[in-house]
Amino acid sequence: MKNSQLNALQVMGPSRDFESIKKIDENGVEYWTARDLYPVLGYAKWQFFGNVIKKAKQACVNSRQFPQDHFTDISKMTTLGHGIVRKLDDYKLSRFACYLVAQNGDPSKPAIAMAQTYFAIQTRKQEIFDGLSEVERRIAMRDGFAAENSSLFAAAKAAGVSKFGTFDDAGYQGLYNMPLSEVEKRKGIKKGELIDRADSEELGANMFRITQTEAKLKREGITGDIQAQSTHFKVGARIRQTMKELGSEMPENLKPERHIRQLKREVKALAIPKGRRIKTR
């Protein structure tokens, strides 16, 4: 990725940190260790980060991947004072594992927000999802979106938002440059279907929108309907501008995919083995 693109994202500092702790194994595959990663993500104690790892592993299972392929246990015994021996938990994390860790971390931490950008949206997205089909990506991200969106609305409620429909639409207007109803009309889909029919790229942009809005509401102590709506709009607009600078297709022009509910039914019915592909449209 070019430096100008990273400058546009304003993530040069954190990206340097992520690159500096990256390791390469004997097969030339890059990885990160959890012990190196957790302080970079803003966690002061391993105990707190351990819970994030646990949630990320479950998200890996939900995406029909084997956790052991992405979270390799490299724990070791260490000697403390007075000759006490204790197990030091650690994991060798794939890029996909780091993506899941970032998605399940505390969104109020600026480093987590930047990690989501680094590992998911702007940098080497195909490598993050190495081995995943588009169907599997969409299912994993759609499940994550539901949880993150609930968290955003809880934060909005705490900020004194009362007009939730208007608040929600403000984010879509910023990202799509039009109200949600116009996006649905443009794409030829039913009301309320946008996220369920979005591909992984569009889902990624929307997940970044909601996590960044939640973090900004909390970090800056934003209160009231007007300020919260303005914040959501500006975050969406900033992500749209970033996509434009990176040469990405604008989200309103991305074609709708098959409904996520239908894909889940097919995946469940077929019990698709790892590496098998089914059509996405």
pLDDT (tens digit per residue) in 179-221: 999 999 999 999 999 999 999 899 999 999 999 999 999 999 9
The tens digit of pLDDT for each residue in 233-257 reads 999 999 999 899 889 999 999 999 9
**Which has the closest alpha carbon to 37: 55, 51, 18?**
18
Q: Has residue 1 got a pLDDT over 50?
A: no
- The C-alpha atoms of residue 99 and residue 166 are separated, in whole angstroms, by 31
Residue 114: half-sphere exposure toward Cβ, Cα within 13 Å: 20
> What is the arithmetic mean of pLDDT over 23-34?
82
CA distance 23 to 32: 6
Q: Indicate the domain borders of the chain.
A: 3-102, 133-270
Q: What is the mean pLDDT of residues 255-270?
A: 85
pTM here is 0.55
Structure tokens at 28: 């030339």
User: What pLDDT shows up at residue 15?
Assistant: 55
